[in-house]
A and B are shown apart, each in its own frame.
Chain A
C-alpha cells in the first residue's frame, strides 16, 4: 500500500509540474523558435550581434502579429516556410513523443525496478557476516607493522 502511495505521489508530481504546452517565456514567440543562422539557439538568445536570419524571422513574426494572427497560426506559418526545424521544441506527436515522455518512462521503469528489487532485498533473510577480518599470519602481521611504522614516519 505504501508503494502505491509512493508511485501515486511521484506521478502526481510529474503531472503537476511538467508543462503540457509550449510556453514561449518572457520574450514571447522569439523564445519558442530557433534561429536559423546555425548558432543552435532560439531567436531570443542568438549570440550574434548582427544576424540576418534572426532578424528576418523576427520581422516575419512581427508582420504576422500585426495581421492579428494567433500564436498557433504564426507557428503554422513559420513551420510551413521553414519546416519543423524552426520549432524550439519538437511537436507532441508521433515519434517525437519518445523525446517528450522517454525520460519519464525510463525513470518510472527504473523506479519500478528499484521498488521490485528493493522489496525482494527486504524480504531476503539477513546473512550474518563476521564483524572482524580473519586473523593474520605472522608474516602478514610483521609486514603490516613494518608498513605502518614507515607510514607514520
Chain B
C-alpha cells in the first residue's frame, strides 16, 4: 500500500493482472484533497506503463464525491487515448452512470474564458460609451443650471440646512489641513527662493515672490486640489451610495428633483467656502514665508509685511478668489455627476470616487491654463 503525498487519508495499491493490465485498489477518501494528487500519480503511472486495460477497485473507498468521479473520468480519458479499457468495480451505481453518460473528449464542452472582443469592437464600444457619457454630461449641466434658476426664483426650494452642513464639511473642517499645507508651501517657497535671491542681496523680494505666486496661482490651485481630494471624493461616494441604495429613485418618486435636492446644496456650499479657504491658504503661506524671512534672512517682520502689501494689487487677490470660485463649481459639479452615474455595486462607487478626484484635478489645471492665457492677452 502506498499513500499519496501529503494525504494520509488515501492509499492505493497497484497490481499487475494476467493480461498485462493493471489493477488499482484505492482505499480511503476520494475527495477534493486527494483528487489532484491522484490524477497526477495515476496519470504518470499509466503513461509510463501503457497497460492495455485498467481496473479500478473502489471497494475500500470510504468517501466518494464528484471529485472522485473526476479522477475516474480523467483516467478513462487517458485510457481511451491509448486505446485501452477502463473498468470500475465495486462502485456505486450513480458513479457508473456518470462515467457512461459523461461524454468522451469529442463531446466535452470546454468552459473557456470568453475571448475579449477584437480591437475594433472595443474601440467602437468605447466611443459609444464616451458619446453616452458626453450626452449625460451635457444634460447634467442643463439640469444643474435649471435647478439653480429654479432656486433663484423660489428660494424656499433650496435645502438651507443641508447647504450649511456641507459648508461646514467642505469649508470649516478643511481649514486645518489647508492651513498646514499652505504654511509649509510658503515656507518651502521662501526657503528655496532665498537661496538664489540672497546672492544678489535681494532678500526682501522673497516676500513679493511668495505673495504673488500664492494669491495668483498656487493658493487657488492648492486649495482646489485639497477640496477635490476631501470633498469631491466624498460627494461622489455619498451620491453613488444613495444611487445604489435606491435612495435617488426614492427621491424621484417622492416628487423631488434629485439634482436640486442633492447637487445644488453641495455646489452652492462649495462656491461659498472654497474662495474663503483660498484666502486662508494665501494668508498661511505668507505666514510661512514671514517665518523664513525673519529667522533666516534677517528681515524685520515689519519690512516683510510692508513689502508683501506693496507687491500685491487688489486685482491679484480678487483674480485668485474668482478662479477658486470657478474651481469650486467644477469640482462639485463633476463629483455630483460621477455620483449620479454610479450603477451596480460597491466597485462602481469606488470608481466614481477615483474618477471624481482625477477629473476635478484635470479640470482645475485645464481651466487654470485657460485663465493664464486669457489674462496674458487681456492685460
Are A and B co-members of a single complex? no
Interface residues of A (CB under 8 A from B): none
